[in-house]
């Protein structure tokens, strides 16, 4: 029995390629474990998460202190899932092996595991003094950042121009792209927003004042977190200090990193020692977020000697016919890490390429097929309908409603974007940072009679009095707010105090809810749903030890809410999944239907200007295909009904076969035409067997 315990192999469940990636490196006689740079190319469904979790666990089992491991992900959920798996592997190894003592995992799991933005937030607060920041700085979500930018637009009189000036969300997108690509504004506008070319000077001035406004309010937006981190490690002294904290740095989904993130990684570990990056160049689909596929393509060559590359090709998700089609599609990419996904699942038929008459026929075919799958025992939630753009599902949704089929649509409103949730959180944000102008204006305008001018006057009063909330008692509010003003002042004073009571800081949230309840009832409808959201917020708060952690991490990685759903799944335990392809990345279903596989959709008509954009669209189609486990159907309408054409009125436009659907690719698929059932005229039948060689007659014409 003792021998069995000593022979326990924590890597025993991995295939050879996964194992090579997990145990790459060498154990030193004097103790410790080191490794050069490692790139793991993990094809779709090849067990990327399991491999990375085993690598982290292997480092710990080999003696690396968990506190000296930095694990960077793109979502909080991914970080939590990775930590859970690592803990399970390490605990199992500790129970069943007596080969060597293990460095115990802290109670909170991996101390330095999280998203790029959350790790940046922690580091910036530690180095706030060195960066000229207040350690209590606020983090602006996208909505708050857009609102602050809009305020600056108004102040710069850019909303009253004779010609159309870009809206706040467009301005923020341009600003964000400049930051994350490190490209000049002129170049970003020319490449991505050419219609804004006449506003270059105005946008430059706008971004200058926006930056100043954030600094005055001690606020950072998402992009600032990475930008400040990159500036911090650009100084060799700080890069060396932070880099020395970690023996190993591991990055998940490396194909989704932007230039700034790659610069940060290179600054922390310029020689690549201890660096492991995992990703798949074939799934790089976020260039609109400034993700740079060259980061992963060029990773091995930035080190001497070059990084070790391990490719995972055994797929555990899909059947071989689905993989044959996906392999054929991605093989056309000119620059890539060549891989040929294979599966031991040979069952299942070929993927289907179905041509239909129009959008209505597409919706009818897809819904009928979904119901047929259900009759064969496949639950609705094991099926998904994917599409390039959110509006592509409009006709399908009408058909689902007509047939009373419940569904969930992903890619909608986020939890923190709900107005009532933003209201409540703004009170806490203002209390946390009295200079937070965006939060202050939102809270003040909740009070009766407090419009923009009165809110501005109140905030100026606060600024003159060194942002002390107690000074608000001396402010004269408008008549409509007089009655509520004393209680409002007491609330802010209590929230800004150091004492939070025996129940911890979460009691503050309850206090704010009580104050907010009458305003919620006065301003909004659908109270039951909104109150349920606020109750959920209170429950979530219990996970965080401090108010600052709660506000920051919730902003950086917000959960989804019931408002995302087009129908409420609670009404039915089973429901269909609708999703954009971007939102479907990382998910999988038994059966997948892909809508509108025509040129103009795949690839998008907005992505045909440059070869690299076409290549990303190819990768997007590849991601869609590889979400399917058992059944894959691509649907291609012959024509589309286009409405609201001011010049020509409603009309039909004809779709062309997607340029990605080559003859070679179609040969791997079952090609069908799904027409509508015959009408009453179908009773007529052709009686004669006589044949006419029209083709020959046409050739003879020439």
Quote the pLDDT of residue 8. 66
Greater pLDDT, 567 or 506: 506
Round to whole Å and give the CA distance between 330 and 285: 13
pLDDT reading at 417 higher than 90: no
For the segment 438-455, the average pLDDT, to the nearest whole number, is 90
Helices within 376-505 (DSSP H only): 394-402, 419-432, 437-444, 452-464, 485-496
Torsion sign, CA atoms 464, 465, 466, 470: negative
Round to whole Å and give the CA distance between 318 and 250: 27
Residue 37: band (very low, low, confident or very high) from pLDDT cuts 50, 70, 90? very high
Indicate the helix (H) or strand (E) that contains 248.
strand 248-251
Quote the pLDDT of residue 326. 96
Residue 45: band (very low, low, confident or very high) from pLDDT cuts 50, 70, 90? very high
Round to whole Å and give the CA distance between 365 and 679: 17
Is the whole model's pTM more than 0.85, yes or no?
no
pLDDT reading at 645 higher than 50: no
Which residues, in sequence order, are CB contacts of 271 under 8 Å at separation 6+? 303
pLDDT tens profile 362-413:
999 999 999 999 999 999 999 999 998 877 888 898 899 889 899 888 754 4
Greater pLDDT, 275 or 103: 275
Percent of the chain with pLDDT over 90: 54
Q: Exposed e or buried b for every residue in 540-567, given b needs 16+ CB within 10 A?
A: ebeebeebbebbbbbbbbbeebeebbbb
Residue 108: band (very low, low, confident or very high) from pLDDT cuts 50, 70, 90? low
Percent of the chain with pLDDT over 70: 89
For the segment 160-176, the average pLDDT, to the nearest whole number, is 83
Greater pLDDT, 604 or 642: 604
pLDDT reading at 576 higher than 90: yes
Quote the pLDDT of residue 608. 65
pLDDT tens profile 233-246:
999 999 999 999 99
Round to whole Å and give the CA distance between 337 and 311: 9
Quote the pLDDT of residue 5. 46
User: Torsion angle, CA of 496/497/499/500, rounded to 10 degrees?
Assistant: -20
**Mean pLDDT for the chain overall:** 86
pLDDT reading at 677 higher than 60: no
pLDDT tens profile 526-548:
777 788 778 878 877 877 888 88
Quote the pLDDT of residue 499. 47
Q: How far is CA 187 from CA 153, 180, 192, 392, 486, in A?
A: 22, 13, 8, 32, 52
Least confident of 2-16, 28-42, 261-275: 2-16
604: helix, strand or coil: strand
Residue 641: band (very low, low, confident or very high) from pLDDT cuts 50, 70, 90? low
473: helix, strand or coil: helix
CB distance 42 to 279 below 8 Å: yes
Which range scores top for mean pLDDT: 133-147, 540-554, 620-634? Answer: 620-634
């Amino acid at each position: 029995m003792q021998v069995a315990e000593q022979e326990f192999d924590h890597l025993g469940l991995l295939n050879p390629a996964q194992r090579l990636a997990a145990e790459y490196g060498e154990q030193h006689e004097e103790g410790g474990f080191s490794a050069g740079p490692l790139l793991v190319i993990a094809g779709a469904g090849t067990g990327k998460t399991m491999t990375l979790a085993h690598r982290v666990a292997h480092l710990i089992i080999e003696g690396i202190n968990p506190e000296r491991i930095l694990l960077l992900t793109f979502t909080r959920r991914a970080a939590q899932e990775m930590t859970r798996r690592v803990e399970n592997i390490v605990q199992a190894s500790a129970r069943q092996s007596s080969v060597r003592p293990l460095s115990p995992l802290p109670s909170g799991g991996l101390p330095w595991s999280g998203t790029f933005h959350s790790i940046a937030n922690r580091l910036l607060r530690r180095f706030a003094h060195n960066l000229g920041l207040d350690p209590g700085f606020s983090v602006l979500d996208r909505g708050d950042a857009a609102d602050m930018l809009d305020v600056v637009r108004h102040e710069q009189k850019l909303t009253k121009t004779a010609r159309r000036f870009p809206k706040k969300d467009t301005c923020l997108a341009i600003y964000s792209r400049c930051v994350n690509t490190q490209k000049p504004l002129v170049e970003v506008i020319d490449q991505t927003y050419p219609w804004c070319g006449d506003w270059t000077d105005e946008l430059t001035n706008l971004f200058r004042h926006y930056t100043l406004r954030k600094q005055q309010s001690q606020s950072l937006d998402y992009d600032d977190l990475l930008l400040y981190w990159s500036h911090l490690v650009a100084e060799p002294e700080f890069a060396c200090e932070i880099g020395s904290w970690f023996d190993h740095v591991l990055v998940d989904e490396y194909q989704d990193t932007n230039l700034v993130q790659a610069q940060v990684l290179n600054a922390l570990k310029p020689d690549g020692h201890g660096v492991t990056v995992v990703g798949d160049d074939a799934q790089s689909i976020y260039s609109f977020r400034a993700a740079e596929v060259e980061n992963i393509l060029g990773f091995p060559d930035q080190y001497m000697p070059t990084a070790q590359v391990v490719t995972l090709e055994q797929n555990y998700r899909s059947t071989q016919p689905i993989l044959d089609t996906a392999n054929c599609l991605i093989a056309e990419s000119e620059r890539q890490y060549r891989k040929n996904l294979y599966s031991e699942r040979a069952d299942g038929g070929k993927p289907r390429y179905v041509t239909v008459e129009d959008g209505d026929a597409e919706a009818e075919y897809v819904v009928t097929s979904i119901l047929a799958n259900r009759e064969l025992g496949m639950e609705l939630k094991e099926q998904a309908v994917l599409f390039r753009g959110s509006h592509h599902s409009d006709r399908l949704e009408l058909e689902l409603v007509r047939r009373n089929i419940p569904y969930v649509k992903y890619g909608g409103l986020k939890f923190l974007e709900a107005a009532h949730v933003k209201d409540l959180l703004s009170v806490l944000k203002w209390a946390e940072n009295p200079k937070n102008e965006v939060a202050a204006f939102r809270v003040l305008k909740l009070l009766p009679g407090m419009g923009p001018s009165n809110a501005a006057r109140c905030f100026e009063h606060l600024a003159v009095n060194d942002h002390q909330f107690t000074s608000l008692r001396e402010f004269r509010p408008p008549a409509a707010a007089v009655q509520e003003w004393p209680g409002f002042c007491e609330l802010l004073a209590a929230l800004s105090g150091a004492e939070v009571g025996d129940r911890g800081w979460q009691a503050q949230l309850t206090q704010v809810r009580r104050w907010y309840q009458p305003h919620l009832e006065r301003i909004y409808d659908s109270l039951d749903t909104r109150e349920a959201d606020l109750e959920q917020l209170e429950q979530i708060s219990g996970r965080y030890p401090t108010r600052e952690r709660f506000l920051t991490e919730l902003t950086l990685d917000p959960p989804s809410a019931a408002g995302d759903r087009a129908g409420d799944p609670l009404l039915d335990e089973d429901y269909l999944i609708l999703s954009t392809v971007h939102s479907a990345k990382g998910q999988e279903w038994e059966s997948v239907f892909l809508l509108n596989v025509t040129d103009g959709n795949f690839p998008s008509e907005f992505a045909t200007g440059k070869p690299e954009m076409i290549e990303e669209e190819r990768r997007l189609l590849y991601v869609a295909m590889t979400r399917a486990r058992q059944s894959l159907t691509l649907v291609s309408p012959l024509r589309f009904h286009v409405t609201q054409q001011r010049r020509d009125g409603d009309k039909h436009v004809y779709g062309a076969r997607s340029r990605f659907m080559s003859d070679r690719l179609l040969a791997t698929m079952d090609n069908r035409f799904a027409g509508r059932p015959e009408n009453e005229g179908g009773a007529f039948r052709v009686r004669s067997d006589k044949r006419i060689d029209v083709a020959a007659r046409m050739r003879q014409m020439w």
